[in-house]
Structure 1
Amino acid sequence: MSLTILVPTRSRPANLARLWAAFTETCQADTRLLACVDDDDPELPAYEQVHRAAYSDGTASEDDPRFLLRIGPRLRLGPTLNAAACPAAEFADAIGFLGDDHLPRTVGWDARYLIELERLGSGLVYGNDLIQGQALPTQVAMTSDILRATGHMVPPGLVHLWIDNAWLALGQALGAITYLPDVIVEHLHPIAGRAAWDAGYAEANADERSDADRAVFEQWREHDLARWVQQIKEHKR
């Protein structure tokens, strides 16, 4: 099985370089990192340099392009995932998400995800981010049939918050979500004192954003979740 990890990122090229270094040290499966960068990001040249460096230092190659860069209009987190996930699902058995502030610590974490997804047949898996743990999949991987069946990775309308709540609700409704407590994918977030607050965190975690995204999540859970589950089950037949 193959896995593509989507990493939407803005104004944090150093985080992307750190994450790629972690991929080279910990990935053991057929795994690709697809970084999604905004075309209006002031740090775009730095992102392009991080990408070029991976090919110049040999950690990625044209024959085996495991580090991909997608440049497009700024859509914010949820819409960016939806825009990138379905096309990526045509070329991978599973699609995952890591923030640019996640960091895989467990060697072979990606292989563990794929083993579990193969066992589930259709479903979701997540590891221990050392903040939320089992409570929320702040990073996740899911089988590509979920994306093909629903046309989305994230409920439409969710901008940044409550996305992990939606993944948890979907996995629970399917009866097909697994938490791997010994697979560490650390979340280096300011709420745990592991990063400094910046403009991106301030924008994403504003009260107004949380309230708006919570309303979208609750509407989706009430009116659309059952339909998503049915679509996924029908797609498997």
Structure 2
Amino acid sequence: MTRDLLVIVPTRGRPHAIADLLDTWDVADGTDLLLGVDDDDPELPAYRALVDAHNEPAVFLAVGPRLRLGGTLNALAADHAPGYRAIAFMGDDHRPRTTGWDAAMLAELDRLRAERGAGIVYGDDGLMHERLPTAVAMTSNIVTTLGRMVPPGLIHLYLDNYWLDLGRALDAITYMPHVLVEHLHPSAGKAAWDERYDEVNAPAMYDADKTTYEAFDAGGGIENDAARIRSRT
């Protein structure tokens, strides 16, 4: 039986962030939360305890090898997309603030799929606003067609650039300013810098992901992805 929306949240070393997310998690029946945790994360027992204590079958844990953000998203999205109408990504530092946010996104995705064959939506994150979808939801046929959620090789950055560019190439992306999915990022003064932030925002990380994404784009990757999706809708 197909469910409505799967929200994938890869996380490492931050069970306290997931505890805060679970305290405010308010969704419709049919929306599930999947936490992607590395099998070598020292905090894995704390993540397991949080999910067990939450005692909600719509919140579950996927434990696997460390693939970094892009790799984890691709693996989990490909595994689960056939069972859902839509797949979403949030970081462990995103917090949905708008009541009914999941239903609103699903309604817009349904409209885009009916009119365009596929669709991508994102709300206001309080930081990048319309400029980048730092949290995103998409029709599951995008993932099932491509077999992934982001281009291979991206580690952590430029994922949102890809979603924006792909949505524009499909002419099937909607920014929803009335839906707040707040990004509690230290650059906005909403969180303290920690080891994870330092690692993924290092200049070497920016350079590596920028080079990978620019090569993907220059090789026609975005247009090829869009053409594959259009051919299957």
Q: Which category of TM-score, normalised to the shorter sequence, fits these structures?
A: over 0.9
Per-residue deviation, 1:28: 2.6
The residue number in structure 2 matching 1:149 is 145
Distance (whole Å) between structure 2 residues aligned to residue 99 and residue 7 of structure 1: 6
Asked if structure 2 preserves the Cα contact closer than 8 Å seen for 1:124 and 1:142, the reply is yes
Asked if structure 2 preserves the Cα contact closer than 8 Å seen for 1:92 and 1:144, the reply is yes
The residue number in structure 2 matching 1:3 is 5
Distance (whole Å) between structure 1 residues aligned to residue 76 and residue 52 of structure 2: 21
Amino acid at match of 1:77: L
Distance (whole Å) between structure 2 residues aligned to residue 149 and residue 28 of structure 1: 27
Asked if structure 2 preserves the Cα contact closer than 8 Å seen for 1:28 and 1:107, the reply is no
Aligned mate of 2:75, from 69, 83, 92: 83
Alignment of 1:37-186 (within 5 A): 37-55=37-55, 60=56, 65-121=57-113, 122-186=118-182
Per-residue deviation, 1:29: 4.9
Aligned mate of 1:227, from 200, 204, 224: 224
Asked if structure 2 preserves the Cα contact closer than 8 Å seen for 1:39 and 1:72, the reply is yes
Distance (whole Å) between structure 2 residues aligned to residue 130 and residue 29 of structure 1: 27
Distance (whole Å) between structure 2 residues aligned to residue 158 and residue 175 of structure 1: 24
Residues 65-85 of structure 1 deviation map (CA, whole Å, 9 limit, x = unaligned): 210100011110000000100
Residues 129-179 of structure 1 deviation map (CA, whole Å, 9 limit, x = unaligned): 000000000000000100111111010010001110010000000000000
Per-residue deviation, 1:87: 1.1
Size of the aligned set, in residue pairs, is 226
Closer/same/farther in 2, CA of residues 127 and 29 from structure 1, 3 Å limit: farther
Distance (whole Å) between structure 2 residues aligned to residue 185 and residue 219 of structure 1: 30
Moved over 4 A (4+): none
Distance (whole Å) between structure 2 residues aligned to residue 228 and residue 44 of structure 1: 35
Per-residue deviation, 1:217: 1.0
Distance (whole Å) between structure 2 residues aligned to residue 21 and residue 66 of structure 1: 14
Amino acid at match of 1:85: A
Q: Which piece of structure 1 moves more, 44-53 or 215-224?
A: 215-224
Distance (whole Å) between structure 2 residues aligned to residue 195 and residue 133 of structure 1: 18
Per-residue deviation, 1:116: 0.3
Asked if structure 2 preserves the Cα contact closer than 8 Å seen for 1:29 and 1:110, the reply is no
Distance (whole Å) between structure 1 residues aligned to residue 107 and residue 24 of structure 2: 20
Is there any run of 5+ residues in structure 2 with no aligned partner, and where? none
Among the aligned pairs, what percent are the same residue? Answer: 51
Find out whether 1:205 has 2:205 as its counterpart.
Answer: no
Residues 85-113 of structure 1 deviation map (CA, whole Å, 9 limit, x = unaligned): 01110111100000000001001000011
